[in-house]
Chain A
Amino acid sequence: MGKDSKLILDPLTDNNPITIQVLGICSALAITAELEASIVMSISVLFVLGVGNVVISLMRNIIPSKIRIIVQLIVVATLVIIVDLVLKAFAYELSKTLSVFVGLIITNCIIMGRFEAFALGNGPWRSFLDGIGNALGYGVILIIVGFFRELLGSGTLLGFPVLGDPIEKTGLYSIGYENNGFMLLSPMALIVVGIIIWVQRSRNKALIED
Chain B
Amino acid sequence: MEHIELFFKSIFIDNMVFATFLGMCSYLAVSKKVSTAVGLGAAVIFVLAITVPLNWLLDQYILQPGALSWLGDDYAGYDLSFLSFIMFIATIATMVQLVEIIVEKFSPSLYNSLGIFLPLIAVNCAILGGSLFMQSREIETLGLALNYGIGSGIGWFLAILAIAAIREKIRYSNVPPALRGLGITFIITGLMAIGFMSFGGMLTGGDEETKPEDNSTAIEIIKEDIKQEEAKYKSNLEIAENTNK
Contacts and interface: CB of A to CB of B under 8 A. Distances in A.
Interface in B20-45: 20-25, 28-29
Interface stretch (A3-11, A24-32, A127-135): A24-32
A17 B130 CA distance: 24
A195 B182 CA distance: 11
A30 B93 contact: no
A97 B216 contact: yes
A154 B25 contact: no
Given A103-B132, A108-B125, A194 B225 contact: no
Contact of A97 (B21, B185, B213): B213
A81 B82 contact: yes
Interface stretch (A38-46, A53-61, A118-126, A197-205): A197-205
A71 to B, nearest CB: 10
Contacts of A201: 177-179, 183
Nearest to B221: A154
A41 B156 CA distance: 25
Given A70-B90, A81-B82, A202-B178, A104 B22 contact: yes
A112 B213 contact: no
B190 A190 contact: yes
Nearest to A19: B182
Contacts of A85: 82
Nearest to A23: B25
Q: What band does the interface of chain A fall in when counting residues whose beta carbon is under 8 Å from B?
A: 35 or more
**Could you tell me the dominant secondary structure of chain A's interface residues?**
helix
A99 B214 CA distance: 12
Interface of B: 18-25, 28-29, 82-86, 89-90, 93-94, 97, 119-120, 122-125, 127-129, 132-133, 136, 176-187, 189-191, 193-194, 197, 211-214, 216-218, 221, 225, 228-229, 232, 243
Given A22-B182, A184-B217, A186-B211, A109 B123 contact: yes
A69 B129 CA distance: 18
A108 B89 CA distance: 13
A56 B136 CA distance: 31
A175 interface: no
A99 B212 contact: yes
A26 B85 contact: no
Contact of B85 (A34, A81, A97, A189): A81
A106 interface: yes
Contact of B128 (A19, A34, A107): A107
Nearest to B184: A194
A110 to B, nearest CB: 9
Nearest to A25: B24
Contacts of A186: 19-21, 193, 211, 214
B186 A167 contact: no
B180 A210 contact: yes
A19 B179 CA distance: 12
A70 B190 CA distance: 33
Contact of A74 (B86, B183, B213): B86
Nearest to B96: A69
B197 A33 contact: no
Contacts of A187: 18, 190-191, 193-194, 197
Q: Pick the most buried of B21, B23, B191: most chain A CB atoms within 10 A of its CB.
A: B21
16 contacts: A26-B23, A70-B93, A99-B136, A103-B132, A106-B123, A107-B89, A107-B129, A154-B217, A185-B197, A185-B214, A187-B190, A194-B184, A197-B178, A197-B179, A197-B186, A201-B183
